[in-house]
């Protein structure tokens, strides 16, 4: 399976969640066993030699490949969730996104200064959610932070929001 085949299998949903937004639905990749395996293999090959100790997944689509990748890398998995979903003490970050504002939280004890962290989500659009996730993770002072997406929407230039110390990669570019 090629990256072009993966791109062709992504479902596009116009005007979701609000009018004017074209939503790229990666669940069509997850339900196809060949595409899921291909994504898993690509992500593993990208990060197998980077010393990652924790993979952070952003609710909710970031949980799927993030947890799968963590298991393959022999790393821990840390969820970033919407407020009120995590049971222990949390830290939080609020941010603007293309169609509103939001807040995310993570357990305060999820990461420490010895960790090399990869933060994963499904899509990079304007970058607000991932920048907030980076800020959240950096509060806990890990050794290094990297960022990964399944899809990057190049025309929105979300990569420009990240500081030079953050390695940002994606599997597919649209």
Active-site choice (59, 72, 92, 98): 98
Query: Taking the C-alpha atoms of 62, 137, 130 and 100 in order, what is their torsion angle to the nearest 10 degrees?
Result: 100
Annotation says 98 is catalytic: yes
Q: CA angle at residue 133 from 127 to 136, to 5 degrees?
A: 140
pLDDT at 97 over 80: no
Active-site choice (61, 81, 93, 152): 61
Task: Give the pLDDT confidence of 122-163 residue by residue, as tens digits.
Answer: 999 989 999 999 999 999 999 999 999 999 999 999 999 999
Task: Give the pLDDT confidence of 106-121 residue by residue, as tens digits.
Answer: 999 999 999 999 999 9
Q: What is the mean pLDDT of the chain?
A: 95
Cα atoms in the 13 Å half-sphere on the side-chain side of 152: 17
Annotation says 72 is catalytic: no
pTM: 0.95
Structural domain boundaries in the chain: 50-173
- Ramachandran area for residue 171 (φ above 0: left; ψ -120 to 50: alpha; else beta): alpha
| Distance in angstroms (rounded) separating the CA atoms of residues 64 and 57 | 8
In CATH terms, 50-173 corresponds, of 3.40.50.10190, 3.40.50.2020, 3.40.1190.20, 3.40.50.150, to: 3.40.50.2020
């Amino acid at each position: 399976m090629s990256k072009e085949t993966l791109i062709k299998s992504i479902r596009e949903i116009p005007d979701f969640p609000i009018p004017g937004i074209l939503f790229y639905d990666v669940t069509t990749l997850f339900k196809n066993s060949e595409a899921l395996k291909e994504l898993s293999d690509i992500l593993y090959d990208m990060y197998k030699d980077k010393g990652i100790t924790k993979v952070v997944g952003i609710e909710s689509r970031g949980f799927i490949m993030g947890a799968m990748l963590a298991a393959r890398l022999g790393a821990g998995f840390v969820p970033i969730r919407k407020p009120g979903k995590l049971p222990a003490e949390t830290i939080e970050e609020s941010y603007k996104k293309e169609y509103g504002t939001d807040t995310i939280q993570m357990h305060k004890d999820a990461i420490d200064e010895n960790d090399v962290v990869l933060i994963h989500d499904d899509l990079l659009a304007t970058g607000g959610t991932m920048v907030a996730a980076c800020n959240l993770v950096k509060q806990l002072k890990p050794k290094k932070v990297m960022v990964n997406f399944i899809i990057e929407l190049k025309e929105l230039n979300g990569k420009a929001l990240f500081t030079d110390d953050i390695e940002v990669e994606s599997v597919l570019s649209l």
